[in-house]
Amino acid sequence: MSKEDRERVLARIKQYEAEGRFNDDVEEDAPPVPIKPGEVDYEKAHAIGKQLADEILGGKYEYVISTHIDKGHVHNHIIFCAVDFAEHKKYISNRKSYGFIRRTSDRLCKENGLSVVIPGTDRGKHYAEWDAQRKGTSYKAKLKIAIDKLIPVSADIDDLLRRLEAEGYEIKSGKYISFRAPGQERFTRCKTLGEAYTEEAIAERIKGKVITKEPKPERKGVSLLIDIENCIKAQQSAGYERWAKIENLKRAARTMVFLDQNGIARYADLEQKIAALQGENEQTAATLKDVERRLSDMALLIKNIITYKELKPLYDEYKKSRDKEKYLRGHESEIILFEAAAKALKASGVSGKLPDLAKLKADYKRLTAEKDALYTEYGKLKKQLREYNAVKQNIDSILHPARGREQEKAL
């Protein structure tokens, strides 16, 4: 990184600090800070942060690390260039890369004898809030206890709010109900306490309903087999390789169940089904494109007819006026719009009597419904085609591993 680039990045950091973007008191979903107050000095924290940046970026991304000592806990901020200087590839940020960063950070903290916040139901909290809850001094924890205690004796949510006020809580109404305990600096929104503490959930709990988390729907469909032989992760981790082998058995079983459920007993039947789906998919796409074109033409025709009808009386006055130049100066834009609409109608084959506007609008509504139905059908066909292609690729990988890998690379 050049001196100019480094100075520019440092200037940006100072700007963000001035704007409060690094303010750790802001309530937001951020990973907990893994270092307790007072357990490490800034030099060691900076060294660990540098080691973390070196490991996660692999020496390919230029970065700047800033160690903050102005809060109760020492912590680092890392800013790095999103494109590596070796291959000019963009850094991929997703849940997988975030998990790698977190695991690396936790490992470095453990290696250096530092504490680590264990993720769980309290994830998304700042260290100060997590530590306060652990010690029993969290305002949020106390508020939840107060609400839980008052729900069984409250007639409705208004009664509960009155009881909270009697216990010293300040209530602020608005889009969301907020609470502030004596000595608390900021209000706490009800919804930030968790799913069981939203206004709707509290109202249901007062009525006696138990609030539980809805289970996540099970993943359906067929997944591609993992190419263990060419999987870098499987080469690096024996544990992952064992998991992948078991997972492949499950995926292979789901593939065979899919074939059985859909009545496919021969490889030729599978190929024929895929070809038929591909043909339906292409035909539906072509029909959809034609409908969208017709809708576009119809929308333009309706617009031109409306413009023509609205401005026809004014244009007739313009034609009858003795001083056309004077009339034009006062209604130039309307006359231009009318003439453009008339020209467009003539180009579309409309002459003499205008088409029935009400019928056109009804046709447009019908065609829109047809388009929506086609989109739904197109989506279903694409999903089916993906499933059948995944099944075929899995069968190829099982029967002819080399051919299956070649197809996967081609995709």
Say what the pLDDT of residue 404 is: 47
Of 89, 124, 159, which residue is a domain's last?
124
Local confidence band at 290 (pLDDT 50, 70, 90 cut-offs): very high
**Is residue 350 assigned to a domain?**
yes
Of 74, 97, 124, which residue is a domain's last?
124
11 and 76 in a single domain? The answer is yes
Tokens of 138: 């969290």
**Is residue 222 assigned to a domain?**
no
Q: Is the pTM of this model over 0.75?
A: no
321 and 367 in a single domain? The answer is yes
Say what the pLDDT of residue 369 is: 92
78 membership: H or E segment, kind and range: strand 75-80
Say what the pLDDT of residue 107 is: 84
233 and 156 in a single domain? The answer is no
**Is residue 129 assigned to a domain?**
no
Local confidence band at 289 (pLDDT 50, 70, 90 cut-offs): very high
pLDDT of residue 275 exceeding 50, the answer is yes
Tokens of 243: 């998991």
**pLDDT tens column, 228-267:** 888 888 888 888 888 888 888 888 888 888 888 889 889 8
Of 70, 95, 124, which residue is a domain's last?
124
**Is residue 130 assigned to a domain?**
no
Give CB contacts under 8 A, 24+ apart, made by 229-235.
229/401, 229/405, 230/405
80 and 144 in a single domain? The answer is no
Structural contact between residues 61 and 133, judged by C-beta atoms closer than 8 angstroms? no
Distance from C-alpha of 306 to C-alpha of 300, rounded to nearest angstrom: 10
Q: Region 148-164: what's the mean pLDDT?
A: 86
C-alpha closest to that of 37 among 132, 125, 136, 140 = 132
**Is residue 295 assigned to a domain?**
yes
- For CA atoms 151, 156, 161, 163, give the dihedral sign: negative
**pLDDT tens column, 205-225:** 888 766 555 555 555 668 888
| Sheet with 170-172: strands ordered across | 170-172, 178-180, 188-189
86 and 62 in a single domain? The answer is yes
- DSSP code of residue 89: P
145 and 198 in a single domain? The answer is yes
68 membership: H or E segment, kind and range: strand 63-68
Q: Region 364-378: what's the mean pLDDT?
A: 91
pLDDT of residue 316 exceeding 70, the answer is yes
272 and 179 in a single domain? The answer is no
Share of the chain above pLDDT 90, in %: 14
284 and 399 in a single domain? The answer is yes
Distance from C-alpha of 7 to C-alpha of 1, rounded to nearest angstrom: 10
Local confidence band at 382 (pLDDT 50, 70, 90 cut-offs): very high
From residue 165, alpha-carbon distances to 33, 170, 185, 240, 367 in Å are 34, 6, 17, 54, 58
80 and 63 in a single domain? The answer is yes
**Is residue 108 assigned to a domain?**
yes
Length of the chain in terms of residues written: 411
Determine how many CB atoms are found less than 10 A away from the CB of residue 70: 8
**pLDDT tens column, 107-140:** 888 788 777 665 544 444 555 555 555 555 578 8
**Is residue 132 assigned to a domain?**
no
- DSSP code of residue 90: B
- With H, G, I as helix, E, B as strand and everything else as coil, classify residue 175: coil
Query: Which domain CATH number covers 400?
Result: 1.10.287
Total domains in the chain come to 4
Say what the pLDDT of residue 18 is: 59
Q: What angle do CA 385, 389, 392 make, to 5 degrees?
A: 140
| Residue 196 structural domain | 138-206
Say what the pLDDT of residue 117 is: 62
395 and 277 in a single domain? The answer is yes
Structural contact between residues 63 and 81, judged by C-beta atoms closer than 8 angstroms? yes
167 and 274 in a single domain? The answer is no
pLDDT of residue 282 exceeding 90, the answer is yes
Structural contact between residues 77 and 22, judged by C-beta atoms closer than 8 angstroms? yes
330 membership: H or E segment, kind and range: helix 324-330
pLDDT greater at residue 28 or residue 387? 387
CA atoms within 13 A on the CB side of 3: 0
70 and 93 in a single domain? The answer is yes
**Is residue 22 assigned to a domain?**
yes
Rama region for 225: left / alpha / beta (φ>0; ψ in -120 to 50; rest): beta
